[in-house]
Chains A and B, each alone.
Chain A
Amino acid sequence: MSELLLELKDISVSYDEIQVIWDANLNIKRGECVSLIGVNGSGKTTLLKTIAGVVHPFEGEIWFKGTIRIDKLSAHQIAALGIIYVPEGRRIFTKMTVKENLLVGNHLKKSKRKEMLQRVYELFPVLKERENQMAGTLSGGEQQMLAIARGLMADPEILLLDEISLGLSPIVVEQLYEKIKEINEQGVSILVVDEIPLRCLQVSHRGYIIRSGRIVFEGDSSDLLNNKDLRKIYLGTD
């Protein structure tokens, strides 16, 4: 927990001349799990997309491992560096089989790829069972697992998980968070965004709170969870 893996410096983003992110500063250390908390429309997804290179900031810098500046790179280049974005809404390739989904866009060597496939199947045995099934026929929870597994296949340094529990049953969400914890323990750094801030904070080390495009709080997850005022204001619970 030392090396700075990802660093956002004063990032500002706009869509069609409407600014949505103001001077965001955020960092992730190696091995960390960080959550980003905020209500709908606060700019969480935009910030994740900015890191992933889907949208580009008009101001500020993003550094990877302290030496590589990535805010002007395109999404596929960022993905090749090992920063993988798992978008919201369980986006998978429905017309391809589970296994084909896992193999898309893979730059790894054949032997390494086999190893990753095995690792992913160990983590999500249900995907192994359904590897030749069309991805579109999976259940919602399985599709979300596939999306995460898909991200893992690139052997990423950082996983950016967007709204992972959207539209899923509480039991499935619980299973997913167990997996996220496991992935993080295997050494993958994670930035997670979710509608359910409590569960999200329980697995993460640190948390950021974003409000109307500005990061308003940063601190250890335990502080966030224990501070009554913060809980009331930002998490909406007592």
Chain B
Amino acid sequence: MAPPEVILMGTFTGAIYGLIGIGLSLIFTGIRNMINLAHGHLAVLAAYLALTLSSNSMLDPLICALLVVPIVFALGAIIQYGAVNRLIYRSPTIPLILFAGIASIIENVALLVWHPDPRSLAPLAPYSLLTVSLLGVRLPLIYLVGFLISLGSMLILYTFLKHTDIGRAIRAASEDPEYAECLGVDTKKIYAYTFGIGGALAAIAGIMVGLIYLFVPSDGWPYTILSFGVIVLGGVGSMRGAFVGGVILGISQQLSAYYLGVAYQYFVGYILILAVLALRPQGIFGMRV
């Protein structure tokens, strides 16, 4: 049996993966089965923006997040409203190419502005060095913070989708956009909200991951794939599923890092995603694609 701390750390980072996966899932179900290929890049961009803001203002990265997350929301909404909305009606694969372009733009802007060497938000957050005791296990406080913020964000999203006009419109447009439009829902505007919110979730997750691990501009790609993995494992459109999918990925990464070495943690995660695609394409929890 693996040390409990490995499992616990996996669970906590997994919740963050769950959050970024829910962002991708929201965009997928909300906007005509479209995958945001630049999803991970939005997360990395958020981490870099928090880095710059925090190191210049000497404010805590989590406080900077209060500014960075709305910026990424706006960026996402603009991408959807200004560009993707024009292409979306042809096929769900066409926007992928546009997103590949956007991913390349974000990645290379980050390379020019922040350079390729690994960075971290941890030095800006002094509390990240503290440790806490939980269930008899000592682990860095920052893992717990990430876990709680991810759970909190999911709860807020759930309440928002359930109880607000825009939330209902997002769900309606996700199920039957043509009918929603007939009832007075401006689907193009709602898609912009959907994409913005999805991007904002990626941004929160990106900042949390940036507090725990190092990041480089090209990390966008693995983040996107992990987010996709979360919805593959958890089944698309299910928030609970995405959470569990994220936790499974998080634990599998921590376990493989522990037993095989850090170098193997991505490989094991990807193989897990492919295995689920091969054996249970509807996800572990059975929601149909």
Direct contact of A and B (CB under 8 A): yes
Q: Which A residues contact B (CB, under 8 angstroms)? A: 52, 54, 74-76, 79-80, 84-85, 87, 91, 93-96, 100, 103-107, 150-151, 154
Judged by DSSP, the binding face of A is loop
Q: Supply 21 A–B pairs (Cβ within 8 Å), ascending by A.
A: A52-B182, A54-B181, A75-B182, A76-B181, A76-B183, A84-B183, A87-B182, A91-B179, A93-B179, A96-B168, A96-B171, A96-B172, A103-B165, A103-B168, A104-B169, A104-B172, A105-B169, A105-B180, A105-B183, A150-B183, A151-B183
Cβ-defined contact, A85 with B182, below 8 A: yes
Question: Once the chains are docked, how many angstroms separate the CA of A113 from the CA of B173?
Answer: 21
Q: How large is the interface on B (under 10, 10 to 19, 20 to 34, 35 or more residues)?
A: 10 to 19
Q: When the two chains form their complex, are residues B185 and A76 in contact, meaning their CB atoms are under 8 A apart?
A: yes
CB neighbours (8 Å) of B178 from chain A are 54, 75, 87
- Expressed in whole angstroms, the Cα–Cα distance for A84 and B179 within the complex equals 10
Contact B179 A106 (CB under 8 A): no
Q: Chain A residues near B187: list those with CB within 8 A.
A: 76
- Report the separation of the CA atoms of residues A104 and B175 in the bound assembly, to the nearest whole angstrom: 12
Cα distance, A74 to B182, chains bound together (Å): 9
Q: How far is the CB of A90 from chain B (nearest CB, A)?
A: 11
CB distance from B172 to the nearest CB of A (A): 4
Interface residues as binary, B170-198 with A (CB distance below 8 Å gives 1, 0 otherwise) = 01100110111111111100000000000
- In the complex, which residues of chain A have a beta carbon less than 8 angstroms from the beta carbon of B171? 93, 95-96, 100
B contact residues around A154 at 8 Å (CB): 183-184
B182-A106 in contact (CB<8A):
no
Complex alpha-carbon distance, A107 and B183, angstroms: 10
Known: A76-B187, A94-B175, A95-B175. A84 touches B182 (CB 8 A): yes
Residues of chain A with a CB closer than 8 A to B182's CB:
52, 54, 75-76, 79, 84-85, 87
B162 to chain A, nearest CB (A): 8
Given known pairs A103-B168, A104-B168, A104-B169, the reply for A93 and B176 (CB within 8 Å) is: yes
Q: Which of A87, A94, A103, A104 has the most CB of B within 10 A?
A: A104
The distance in angstroms between the C-alpha atoms of A237 and B21, with both chains bound, is: 59
Q: Return chain B residues, CB-CB under 8 Å to A75.
A: 178, 181-182
- Assembly CA distance A70 to B172 (angstroms): 24
- Cα distance A150–B176 in the bound complex, in angstroms: 14
Known: A93-B171, A93-B172, A95-B171. A107 touches B184 (CB 8 A): yes
CA of A87 to CA of B179 in the docked complex: distance in angstroms? 8
Q: Closest approach, in angstroms, between the C-beta of A227 and any C-beta of chain B?
A: 35
Assembly CA distance A186 to B169 (angstroms):
28
| Cα A76 to Cα B186 with chains together (Å) | 5
Chain A residues contacting B186 (CB-CB under 8 Å) are 74, 76
